Structure 1
Amino acid sequence: MAKVTANSDQLRTLAAVVDSGTFEGAAASLHVTPSAVSQRIKALEEQSGRVLVRRSKPVAPTEAGSVLLRLARQLTLLEAEAAAALAGDEAAASTPLPLVVNADSLATWVLPALAGLEGIVFEIVLDDQEHTLDRLRDGTAMAAVGSDPEPVQGCTSTPLGAMIYRAVASPSFVERWCPDGWTTETAGAAPMLVFDRKDALQDRYLDAFAPGARPPRHFIPASTQFVDAAVLGLGWGMLPDLQADALVDSGALVVLDDQTVAEVPLYWHQWSLRSTVLDAVAGAIADEAGRVLRTTGSRAPGPARPRSDRRSRA
């Protein structure tokens, strides 16, 4: 087994290379020459006996590189916390904490949770809730909100609650595609909104409501614009109650089906690391989640809305 004797400069350089995607970008962020960056990475690879980064565009960590990248993130955070403690500060404000969050959570409840944390800065990466843990595995994030209950090796997993999604569309869409009610036939023909190619939420709804239906689809890879597309009548889609309720109440959206709803449980994942910053973030996330998310398994429909004349089940 290789013995790794990496120093902090080498580990910091590895993180900079992965974050910037190039050796030149890492050199600029570290205020050293590209040659110095290359020498540090080469020395670290020789010490570990492994190739640590793929010289692709952008540069990406190998499996062995991800192990040392996690070490680099931990070292950076702990160094910053120690410096802050010695200076009498409560948090390491100058060190961004890398978090990965699904777009709907970021658009609804995560930012209010983080807004109450003073002295902590964040680097937030978006990914589908079913893929956020990939960022923990490769070391590019230290914590994540995702839908997988199983923790990544070296991490913990804590249930947060669930977001409830319903099929919604604009009144103009309803008049065009389903004036007599939302049916399995309509669901198979009416255009559908999908966030990106990782987004399986609409297809899972169709598997339950209209098995075999595969309607045409629009890809709208931004949470706010996804809502806009639904309001504008571009297609129907699954929206969380946290985003849709006010629009339904105002008449801008109509709930197509209030029976076949989707419950997406969410979990807080973080590295098993004693850190005052991570603990503060985890506490804020848990508090806000407890306030706004549904208890898993309690999928009772929301309050009555002015939509009953515009929907019907097959």
Structure 2
Amino acid sequence: MTPMRAAVYYSNRDVRIEERPVPKIGPGEILIRMKASGICGSDVMEWYRIRKAPLVLGHEMTGEIVEVGAGVTGYRTGQRVFAAHHVPCNTCRHCLTGHHTACETLHTTNYDPGGFAEYIRVPALNVDRGVFALPGGMTCEDGVFIEPLACVLRAQRAAKVRPAQSVLVLGSGLSGILHILLARAAGAGRVLATDIHPDRRKAAVRFGADAAIDPRENVPDRVREINGGHGVDLAVVCAGAPAAFAEAMKCVDRGGKVLWFATTEPGVEVPVPVCDLWRNDVTLLPSYGSSPLDNAAAMELIRAGRIPMRDMVSHRLPLSRAAEGFRLVADGGTTLKVILHPDSGAPS
């Protein structure tokens, strides 16, 4: 087989198209031809990615099965699928207590070489626990949203979002928009958002926020002004700026929760007002990743038309323009979702 092309990450400003051998599959494995692959905000966390460079990133990937290994059942060539890059063992103490994203297996599994390549080998464990056939009517581009939506689902499930609760989302990139949409779907009452970019504040309102606040304002005061004099029941941090974490703890009401969906760089410390949080019965809750259950639920929400994914796609680019896509995501601004397609293929 002729070599394939892959977008190889060296830094946020240095992504190169290089030739790689098409991966060979073994028993229990499948080979996927990439049809659509989304660039995630975590793909441009340069402090994390650059120490492992060069590498092929991409974990929001859908495509068509072109080869199945010996012993594979339930999947066939020509089938359109979503494949999860991380899967849990389902047997360790973390998995057995519902903390699948703390599983060591989940943190060490991946597919080869990554979703920003023309062909991807999916290992047997991932095939067993992380491959989902796309239902009829769901495009490969729709399926790109399974993984990011699943992460948001897991986070809001952990936060126990309830009807009529007030929610503040700090950071209105794609993850923030998904949190707004999912909070609305869960019956949240007043939903507020923040973002430094005016276009993203407009997007937050367009996708369901009651108001979007410029973080250069006094956010805690504005939240209470809009929310009847009270802080919010749930503050969701979707921006990695330390100021967002500090702001969230000032915006939450007594008995409320602060959900850390984003992260800072390693070594960054955020002051925690322990006495205030203790006296006010405030819960701090981090959330990372998703489980197979969350992936399945996200796919069903998309299939049912509950999430307007296509309205969130701001850029569609061929794989050969991956460097441009990375710059768009790293710069933020008007960018929401950037999806890469094979150079020979249109959205499917």
- TM-score range with shorter-chain normalisation? under 0.3
* TM-score, L = length of structure 1: 0.26
**Structure of higher CA gyration radius:** 1
* TM-score, L = length of structure 2: 0.24
Higher relative helix content: 1
Higher relative strand content: 2
